[in-house]
Amino acid sequence: MRNIIFTLVALLVLGTVQAQIFTEDGRYELFGKDDPNLNKAQGSPYLNDDFLPGKIFFEGKPDLPVQLRFNIYAENFEIKVDKGKRDIYTVSDWENAIYEMGGKKFVSAEVDHNGRTIKGFFIEHFDGSQYRLLEKPEIKVTPPVRSDSGYSEDQPAQIKKTSSFFVQKPSGEITEVKIKHRDIRKEFTSEAAKKYLSDNKIKEVADLVAFLKFIDQ
């Protein structure tokens, strides 16, 4: 435990960062961490509200077993060495770290799609020789609604969690996909893909991963 704490002191800092959220009109923008609308909104900015057992992998350094919680809004991981203690850390921007939490691998990446640049942490569901599947956790914030009568109350802003899924193809092209069988059939039209999709339905992420593994051969 003492070695872990010593390593964390050298690598981690407390800090305030800029955040990226997916707004109602479809724009991906930067907001300060103290954005008043978000602070007053109902809902949680965390992918998981509680700290979960996980690991941090720093390039060239041993992995660190820690407790992790991902803040989608702040676009960072909050870290505890000991779940029973109050001290919370975040990794410095200059550290190239990979996180493992809840059996999922989180990587820092940048995706350019339809004129929209998305930077931050992605869940890497699959990384094969030809295809790669990334999931971007996002926050969709609906604005507050003021009541126009005395018979109803004002509605605060709402935080809703959502995700976008991206497939990187052999050509390097990045395509956004929906986890729907019909949409996957339209996107992948090779004979091998058609044969697989005629026998197997795509209903969830695990189904899409199995499909990509098949055509990645």
Dihedral angle computed from the Cα positions of residues 101, 103, 108 and 109, in that order, rounded to the nearest 10 degrees:
-150
pTM of the model: 0.79
Question: Which pLDDT band holds residue 118 (cuts at 50, 70, 90)?
Answer: confident
Predicted pLDDT at 7: 42
Which among 92, 67, 71, 91 is positioned nearest to 80, based on CA atoms?
67
pLDDT in tens, 167-202: 999 988 899 999 999 999 999 999 999 999 999 999
Residue 98 has pLDDT above 70, yes or no: yes
Q: Measure the CA–CA gap between 141 and 158, rounded to whole angstroms.
A: 6
Which tens digits make up the pLDDT trace of 20-77?
Answer: 333 344 433 333 344 555 666 788 889 999 999 999 888 777 888 889 999 998 888 8
Cβ neighbours of residue 143 closer than 8 Å, sequence gap 6 or more: 24, 37, 157
Q: What mean pLDDT comes out for the span 8-23?
A: 40
